[in-house]
Amino acid sequence: MTWKILITDGFEDSGIKALISNGFVVDVLKMDSEQLSHELPNYDGIIVRSATKVRSELISSCPNLKFIARAGVGMDNIDVDFARSKGIEVLNTPASSSRSVAEIALGHMLCLTRGLHRSNRELAGKDSFSKLKKELSNSNELQGKTLFLVGLGRIGRELAKMAIGLEMKVIASDPFIDKLSIEMQLQDQTILVPIPLVKLEYGLQLADYISLHSPYTGKALLDASNLSQIKNSAYIINTSRGENIDEEALLLALHEKRIAGAGLDVYQNEPNIRPELLNHPQISVSPHIGASTFEAQQRIAEEMVEKIIALRK
């Protein structure tokens, strides 16, 4: 029997072609939740990104559904446990976009450190040139600074490699890891660099940069209490989930100069982002594009197609 697959949030053409060539019927349709509730019962599988929500009510109305696939890492938009309790496979592609997300986290670190985000917004002529040159002339370097990784999954480990290459000090917190060393290539040699693991509260106090790489568990990782422990010279980077930072508390901490700045690729109410975040001179922003590189999307499509084909066998 031929499986019908619905794709709602976009997918690489190479992946669509691969599915079709392997005998799947594929429809690419953007639809709202009401339309989806009418259409999804006609399909055997659905491929989503982060925009489409696949909740228990929708899952219950789809007795023919064999899989729900998230073309990416986080699955906060899917009721995973409920789906699996119904015998439905839930797939994602955790390995494919790690490098891309780690790179954008590093990009925000560099922007904030050298004021590039401000330069791109404010540099408009002679007067702004002189003003910015003066204000940004005392910026710092990453070398020797301490990066605190909150979460040491694939993305956190990729960023750790980059930071070590830049001669930063790397520490981390992860409740699921007891010990970790990062493999680094030095010419023809592989060396192991141990990553000190510390408690969240201790890491926040030590860090010059704090980068979040944990799923949202129902409570912000950085709330008003945690933000009060951070050095006033520290920067926060979030490429994980918008809900992992209390945005109100973040803005207050910036207003009171209790932290130096933040780099955000994710937000609580995307795409309805607070103007105060978008326009803040101490915040470097991007529109949730951490995994949106050509290379990552190709890898995501390849990994997802392989998993769906294996599931059908």
Residues carrying an active site annotation: 241, 270, 288
Taking residue 273's Cβ as centre, other Cβ atoms within 10 Å add up to 18
- Which residue in 308, 304, 311, 291 sits closest to 104, CA to CA? 291
State the Cα–Cα distance between residues 186 and 176, nearest whole angstrom. 29
Amino acid at 91: L
State the Cα–Cα distance between residues 308 and 151, nearest whole angstrom. 28
The 3 state secondary structure assigned to 47-89 is EECCCCCECHHHHHCCCCCCEEEECCCCCCCECHHHHHHCCCE
Give CA 173 to chain center in angstroms: 17
CA distances from 19 to 6, 9, 282, 306 (A): 11, 16, 45, 9
245 secondary structure, DSSP code: B
Residues 35-44: contacts with CB under 8 Å, at least 24 apart: 36/8, 37/61, 39/6, 40/6, 40/65, 41/65, 42/4, 43/4, 43/5, 43/6, 44/3, 44/4, 44/5
One DSSP character per residue, 173-209 reads E-TT-S--EEEEEETTEEEEEE--B--HHHHHHH-SE
